[in-house]
Structure 1
Amino acid sequence: MHHPHPGLRRRGFLTAAAATAAAGIGIGIGIAGCSAGTGAGARSGGGTARKGGRLRAAFAGGGAAETLDPHLGNLFADAARAKALFDKLADYGPDLTARPRLAERWEANAGLDRWAVTLREAVFHDGRPVTAEDVLFSYRRIADPKKAFRARASLEPIDLAASRATGPRTVEFRLKRPTAEFPNVLAAFGAYIVPKGTERFDEPVGSGPFRHVSFAPGRSARFRRNDAYWDGPPHLDELEFVVANEESARINALLGGQVDYAHELAPTTARAHEGKGGRIEIVRLRNSAMQGFVMKTDRPPFDDPRVREAFFLIADRDELVKGALSGAGETGNDLFGKGYAHYAAGLPQRRQDLDRARHLLKEAGAGDLKVTLDTSPVAAGFTEAAGIFRDQAAKAGVTVEVRVGNKDSYWKDILDHGTFASYRSGAMPIESHISQRLLSDSTTNATHWRRKDFDELYRRLQSTKDAAERAGLYERMQRRLYSEGGFLVWGFADWIVGTSRRVRGVARDAPANTLDWARFDKVWLA
């Protein structure tokens, strides 16, 4: 397992692009009392944590082009390695609100366009303290327009030229506009802090719980415990990441005792081993991925809200979850972020109503509607869901032609082309989903939802200091999307990992890409 498996090509690409995000923590006040540690509840196993040992974790990799530059990560493997070596100022808790990490506290001015961030006392692996200058250097590096760092868009609200260090451990961030949910900008995917002046990562120096030992791109990476870690040293002596691109390779390595942790397992694998008292344990990370379809709201037939409502009513969500996700998930309600902060949980659960759907289509002059549904094997369950929905639509008199696209270009293709397509998103705050996908100038607006009054509600939300008022605006915006939007959200998939029986401390309620996902500093070997 120290060498790549020949012929294995599947890559575990991250589907969540975390950007400016929604919190509700401490606007206008300090948050020194907030816990910097884990926000997760249940963890696998039990008993007293033991020190020592090496844990081997299998992830899908990126081949010879892999890097330990935390600002370049795109894969789950990249994110897990970066989390082991580096820290962000904040990260997302299980409900996708910001939790302090290197930032000890943050406080906004009255206008919400200046934020003072105080760093905790932490040191890099070479003993240097983490300073405000390191933070500004890292953010300016990410924001370099000549680079293609993923977190660049997330940091867009910050005027980095005007932002400044006001002390060794204090930063004043000046923003381009009021941003009430700024703490989650600090938690953006890939926004890791590196020492000032760093440009090479062949022997990376971070402030994370593990230190670099060795790295062979596309093969393995070995890290050692950082005894000086600000959040307490890890239980493990060593952590090793090994590459196994195919799910079958990961589960076989786990069953064979070659690895202790296997990321991204299939629902069928989970069913075969869960609760059987065998050699492995299955851990389900609930609500990790939204599953649905996008309808382009500016193109026929979906420019008519009656047609969009009809499609909402055609979907049998329970059948889609059972068939496309093998039951490894729960039903959706045409809104993103089930279980996350600010989710409009009080709206009625939509159920299939074919009579009402037929009536709406007839009223819209679309009684004999034919549409093309774009899909691809780019994500698990996509082609299965497309086939299931095609059969459901036929019962309402709608002909759906399923068109399978190129998985290498699928996301780019469906952003601007077609009218109806399969869609998935990983975990991110609901505000990030809105800002990235639902504003008139959003760069990944796959539904082409562009409403000036909706944009204004978003601006009001970001300019509103009172948390209760912001909650009301979130509710209002989601009600609008529920009735008129272009996202048909039929389910939320579990993310599934497997561990050996000797592994303890894996968080069970941490969606993928949140703070407690892949928290190997909190894991131990029994």
Structure 2
Amino acid sequence: MTIFSKITGAVLGATLLAGTAGAQTLSMAVSAPPASIDPQYYTLTPSIMLSAHMFEGLVQRDENARLRPALAASWRLVDDTTWEFKLRPGATFHNGAPVTAEDVAYSVARVPTVQSPSSFAVYTRAITGVEVVDAETIRFKTASPYPLLANDLATVFIMPRSLGAGVASAAFASDKVAIGSGPFRFVSYAPNDRVVMTRNDSYWGTKPEWQRVEYRIITNSGARVAALLSGDVAMIDNVPTQDLGKLRTDSRITIAEGTSLRLIFLGLDVFRDGATPDVTGPNGEALDKNPLQDHRVREALSIAINRQAIAQRVMENASVPTGQFMPQGAFGYDPSIAVPRYDVDRAKKLLAEAGYPNGLTITLRGPNDRYVNDAQILQVVAQMWARIGVKTAVDAQPLATLIGRLNRFEASAYLLGWANSTGEPSTSLRSILGGRGPNNGLGLSNYGRYANAAVDEITARGLATMDDGAREKLLQEAMRTAMQDVAIVPLHIQKSVWATRRGLTYTPRVDEQTLAQEVRTAK
């Protein structure tokens, strides 16, 4: 048992299977739709986990985010700035073509060319040169020592170079283009409904038990649970907290749960000097400056939130209150960063000191279809802010709509989640907390446009430090600096909860991914 995961519930009997042992179908329901079949389109967990069924990187992560070989059988550091990867002999794409170093070079080169709401380019930014040594050997150059290249490349999916330059993301909704090397092959895609896949019997690794997978998208929590209980599906993810107690005692169901690497947080517009669109005075009057640029206002908004109450009453203990991105026990977790203490009186005092003794009016935006109890959390935060004189209107909407608004920087305060699925905090330090700049690859998901040169400099030093212990201390320092600055308002780390029909097992993953190839029948 790891620090992250445990499995609860008895494994009993048989489950929803179709056909014989050689022709089984697994029907599973996930809570959030992928943005695209293109595995390089969007750094969104629902998209990445679907891609992981059909596509592979050079390396992959196990259930505890540790690296293990995938299309690369091995890798090594040739010198301080050169990494060499040796490809796995015999690995082939779904069209039968062998996976070669040229395909890897093509895939890496494509990443920054994809028009994306949140680009995978953050994972290829360190690469300054690519050398194809032979069909099974590729080398990557970096401008300076960069210890996390293998980690980054675990998130870059490889596709055949025969797809050609400029292949559009929309084209991947076809088995002629959605060609990977993973354990399942693409069959069909009905947006917001389901993806159908079949087993890749030529797969180089352990073949899944399932010949066919019905990967259904059921965003409504009640409908997802009902589908499980009726036998319409054999597995669901993101079990709603209000149903956990009932499902734990149902002999037909097995529960798997574990702490994830996903932080739920509030982002704030700290960029604009003048008025910010969703913040006005206490009576709706226009402001000539942005209150969120004041550290005292940001701290007041943070300590006005009772994180323990949210974890216990809203999340039914399916979350862990936090003041940072990493959970306890993970690489980069800093025990000196405390969970912000709930203090209404101090919050009011800070607002008054900042020049807002009568409070403010804010619109808090967030998704209503992506994170566990996201819409409820928005409402509870709004109620808590009201206690310090911050009148809060909630705008909960589908994530796809929200992201469009955030990409246009049209929100002043918003709720999002971020999973450091690499198992360490560098991705959040770069993508969420990194200062945006021309071609610097930082801040790609930093919609509040927070910028702190000290955070970026310490992070850069950490990413150039090959010694794990020294690198961890630098990344902790960078996170500590950003959290002291209230760069964002962390709320809690989500726990991940899956439910299966009896007779199936699933090992919880810290990256929250729901993978059909990891669903097994009980022995």
Q: TM-score range by the shorter chain?
A: 0.7 to 0.9
Secondary structure at the aligned position of 2:246 is classed as helix
- Please name the residue that 2:478 is paired with: 477
Matched, 1:432 2:435: no
Distance change (3 Å), C-alpha of 1:42 and 1:129: farther
User: Which whole-Å CA distance do the structure 1 matches of 2:313 and 2:261 have between them?
Assistant: 18
User: Which whole-Å CA distance do the structure 2 matches of 1:309 and 1:216 have between them?
Assistant: 45
Is the CA contact 2:11–2:503 (under 8 Å) kept in the aligned structure 1? no
Q: Structure 2: which 5+ runs fail to align?
A: 15-19, 165-171, 274-289, 437-442
- Please name the residue that 1:465 is paired with: 466
- Please name the residue that 2:17 is paired with: none
Residue deviations 1:174-210, cap 9 Å, x none? Answer: 235543321222022xx22223303674255432223
Q: Structure 1: which 5+ runs fail to align?
A: 1-37
Letter in 2 for 1:472: K
Offset at residue 489 of structure 1 (A): 0.9
Matched, 1:520 2:517: yes
Distance change (3 Å), C-alpha of 1:232 and 1:40: farther
- Please name the residue that 2:69 is paired with: 100
Matches within 5 A, 1:97-496: 97-112=66-81, 114-124=82-92, 125-144=94-113, 150-159=119-128, 162-188=129-155, 191-198=156-163, 201-203=174-176, 204-212=178-186, 214-218=187-191, 220-274=194-248, 276-298=249-271, 300-336=290-326, 339-378=329-368, 379-380=370-371, 381-395=373-387, 397-404=388-395, 406-407=397-398, 408-414=400-406, 416-429=409-422, 430-441=425-436, 442-496=443-497
Is the CA contact 1:287–1:338 (under 8 Å) kept in the aligned structure 2? no
Offset at residue 77 of structure 1 (A): 6.0
- Please name the residue that 2:278 is paired with: none
Letter in 1 for 2:416: Y
Calculate the aligned-residue CA RMSD, in Å: 3.5
TM-score normalised over the length of structure 1: 0.79
Identical positions, percent:
20
Distance change (3 Å), C-alpha of 1:451 and 1:69: closer
User: Which whole-Å CA distance do the structure 1 matches of 2:108 and 2:497 have between them?
Assistant: 33
Task: Count residues with an aligned counterpart.
Answer: 475
- Please name the residue that 1:23 is paired with: none
Letter in 1 for 2:515: A
TM-score normalised over the length of structure 2: 0.79
Distance change (3 Å), C-alpha of 1:205 and 1:448: closer
Distance change (3 Å), C-alpha of 1:170 and 1:426: same
Residue deviations 1:436-461, cap 9 Å, x none? Answer: 12122223223332122222212211
Distance change (3 Å), C-alpha of 1:148 and 1:265: same
Letter in 1 for 2:467: D
User: Which whole-Å CA distance do the structure 2 matches of 1:322 and 1:144 have between them?
Assistant: 44
User: Which whole-Å CA distance do the structure 2 matches of 1:180 and 1:263 have between them?
Assistant: 33
User: Which whole-Å CA distance do the structure 2 matches of 1:126 and 1:176 have between them?
Assistant: 36
- Please name the residue that 2:507 is paired with: 507
Is the CA contact 1:71–1:149 (under 8 Å) kept in the aligned structure 2? no
Residue deviations 1:344-386, cap 9 Å, x none? Answer: 1343333212343344334333333214042244345344223
Offset at residue 42 of structure 1 (A): 5.2
User: Which whole-Å CA distance do the structure 2 matches of 1:73 and 1:436 have between them?
Assistant: 13
Offset at residue 339 of structure 1 (A): 4.8
User: Which whole-Å CA distance do the structure 2 matches of 1:110 and 1:266 have between them?
Assistant: 49
Matched, 1:58 2:36: no
Is the CA contact 1:321–1:328 (under 8 Å) kept in the aligned structure 2? yes
User: Which whole-Å CA distance do the structure 1 matches of 2:263 and 2:419 have between them?
Assistant: 6
Offset at residue 418 of structure 1 (A): 4.2
